[in-house]
Structure 1
Amino acid sequence: MKKIISIILGGFMILMLAACGQTAEPVKTEAESKNAVSAGKEQANKEKESKLTLEEVFKKTEEANKDINSFASQMNMKQNIEVSGEKQEFQSDIEMEFILEPMALHQKMTMSLAGEKQEVDAYLTKEGFYMYEPNEKMWFKLPEEFSTQILQMSEGQTNPSGQLEQLKEFVDEFEFQQDDKNFILTLKASGEKFDQFLKDNVKNVLPAEMQADNMMGDMKFNEVKYELHIDKETFYLNTLNMVLDTDTQIEDEKMNMKIDMQSTYSNYNKVENIEIPKEALENAQEIN
């Protein structure tokens, strides 16, 4: 069971765009779908349509990412986990502020499990990883090696430019659309090629001691879907939605995990400082 929990907590890489030569198809609103659009409105909509290809959006997004040093995000995630016939449902609501250089994170999370809510207020900086547990009304400091591992993993994922290049091989899998404000990229992928790619990326975000092949188990991706909304003006990521369905065989136990995540991103380069509260630094109880 420890290996199962470790893989759940390890998380999955956030994937980004790929390059392609097609332009984005406009997305019709529900009202437009039900009613014929007037000639004047149709012309106005056409004027808002971008002629950029997916390859051009990819390049502009890659350039914009290089200038990002901070952002905020909100995430809602539902997880359904079944292990050997036993089912558990998790509901997580997360608010986060993130600075890349030097790396710092402030995260407030509310997680619901079996009708019970657990709240966590966490800070992660070069000074360490501190968490406030409201039920205990106490601050805790996690071991230095733990915070170091998380910092290393986070620093490897914060700049998506490296992942952009990797996804070029899946260019034919993308659906490319647009609305008035966003380019909309949708990826539904399956097959052995994509399956191995995801396994490799999950493996890369885990701590070193968990990267052995036998720790990954016999992982199978039943469904993978990413929907990304890229701002037409700034080329920053506005929305990332993900659906994931996996089967894994670990220690003679079969685990099925379904994840449905919706997240939004904002305040790019406006998060200027994240400091661990003085109360935490002075009173935190260190745990192993």
Structure 2
Amino acid sequence: MKKALTIILGAMLMLVVSACNQTAEPVEKDGKTETTKKEQDLTLEEVYKKVEEANKDIKSFESNITMNQKVDAGGEKQEIKSDMAMEFIMEPMTLHQKMTMSIGEEKQELDAYLTKDGFYVYEPNQKTWLKLPSELSSQILQMSEGQTNPSEQLNQLKQFVDDFEFKQDEKSYILTLKASGEKFDQFLKDNVKATMPPDMQDEAAMSDVTFNQVDYELFIDKETFYLTALNMVTDMDTDVNGQKMNMNLDMKSTYSNYNKVESIEVPKEALENAQEVNLNEMGGQ
């Protein structure tokens, strides 16, 4: 399992060189600055230290994610919209996820639990609980945590800490990063690979990928120093079997209720009635 929230910024602090004395520029609203002089004097290093201290005892949180993905493959366009609500416990890694996904006029809803009892998914169209094979659990954990865990995103970006723009408004410190270009190319490819199952992490598969735009925006609460939001926009081109494809993803995430998720339990109905899915019958999908 990847690093937990308790070590979000430990390594990042060692990389703060020129940025460590940088104070956050206030964000103006209607021509007025909403921050006090004391808040403006906090440097990026000081903010990181406060975040590190605040996150030492985090054990759980909730996350809401909205994703809008547009795909253009050889002139054939498709739009996929997803809304996810998650409860997340760090140790042991446990989650409950409710998702609604729309592809064109088609809509699908899923309700999923991943606990010590296994991975269970409710498919409302068929009104059926499914239990996924245990060999898929680690892959699902890897992909889920990479997409939902705010510490993982920060940890991945630590090497570019000096490239962040550091600002603030009345409630939050705001870190933004434009990560497109040659400097970030390998990092972005590695980041995409890390969210894939191991058997799909082929270096050759990423050779035809070009990132046109990758923007990050992170919000840190001034009172608690918890991460409260993470927004990301990605635009990339690739080649699939000789066909050019463009993919644009706009993802907005919020994080809340830190340490308030005490337990996540699979419903009794799922434990008693779930149909076990055979990996061979799935055709390896």
- Given the two structures, how large is their TM-score scaled by the length of structure 2? 0.84
Task: Decide which of 234, 259, 268 is 2:224's aligned counterpart.
Answer: 234
How big is the alpha-carbon RMSD for the aligned residues of Structure 1 and Structure 2?
2.3
Q: 250-259 or 151-160: which moved more?
A: 151-160
Aligned-partner residue type, residue 27 of structure 1: V
Once the two structures are superposed, residues 117-157 of structure 1 have per-residue CA deviations (whole angstroms, 9 ceiling, x without a partner) of: 11111111122111111110111111111112222555678
- Asked whether the equivalents of residues 49 and 180 of structure 1 are also in contact (C-alpha less than 8 Å), the reply is no
For residues 192 and 165 of structure 2, the distance between their equivalents in structure 1, rounded to whole angstroms, comes to 24
Question: Is the partner of 2:28 in helix, strand or coil?
Answer: coil
Aligned-partner residue type, residue 67 of structure 1: D
Q: Which runs of 5+ in 2 are unaligned?
A: 1-7, 280-285
Q: Which runs of 5+ in 1 are unaligned?
A: 1-15
CA distance change for structure 1 residues 140 and 226 in 2, over 3 Å: closer, same or farther? Answer: same
Give the equivalent residue in structure 2 for 1:60: 50
- Aligned residue-pair number: 263
Task: Decide which of 162, 168, 174 is 1:184's aligned counterpart.
Answer: 174
Give the equivalent residue in structure 2 for 1:271: 261
Structure 1 residue 158, shift from structure 2 partner: 7.3
Give the equivalent residue in structure 2 for 1:251: 241
Aligned-partner residue type, residue 187 of structure 2: F
CA distance change for structure 1 residues 45 and 230 in 2, over 3 Å: closer, same or farther? Answer: closer
Q: 112-121 or 272-281: which moved more?
A: 112-121
Give the equivalent residue in structure 2 for 1:137: 127
Aligned-partner residue type, residue 89 of structure 1: E
Q: How does 1:3-42 map to 2 (within 5 A)?
A: 19=16, 20-21=19-20, 22-29=22-29, 32-33=30-31
Question: Is the partner of 1:49 in helix, strand or coil?
Answer: helix
Task: Decide which of 124, 129, 145 is 2:114's aligned counterpart.
Answer: 124
Structure 1 residue 45, shift from structure 2 partner: 3.9
CA distance change for structure 1 residues 53 and 45 in 2, over 3 Å: closer, same or farther? Answer: closer
Give the equivalent residue in structure 1 for 2:85: 95
Matching of residue 150 in structure 1 with residue 145 in structure 2: no
Once the two structures are superposed, residues 197-233 of structure 1 have per-residue CA deviations (whole angstroms, 9 ceiling, x without a partner) of: 1111222232221112123341111001111110112
- Asked whether the equivalents of residues 62 and 161 of structure 1 are also in contact (C-alpha less than 8 Å), the reply is no
